[in-house]
Amino acid sequence: VLAKYRQLGLGTMMLQHVFKLCERDGSIDSIYLHVQINNETALSFYKKVGFQIVSTATEYYRRLEPCDAFVLE
């Protein structure tokens, strides 16, 4: 979500929509995403909506520093 639209609940609404679609589908067991290890804002948001860090992907990004990412489920 663009910075000027953050803190309005849009990200939460979008994820809730995705969760509902997955639930309706019935065949989706998990949702995974990756977050750059220094992105505390994103990590906090995803943890707030129920995601947990399950692993670290080393050298995940080619053009970003740090290049590692947390994998969340």
Domain chopping of the chain, boundaries: 1-27, 32-73
pLDDT value, residue 70: 99
pLDDT at 3: 87
Over range 21-44, report the average pLDDT: 96
Q: What is the three-class DSSP state of 3?
A: helix
- Identify the sign of the CA torsion 50, 18, 39, 64: positive
pTM higher than the cut 0.75: yes
Reported as a single tens digit per residue, the pLDDT across 19-32 is 999 999 999 999 99
State the average pLDDT over residues 41-65: 96
Residue 27 tokens read as 């065949």
pLDDT at 1: 84
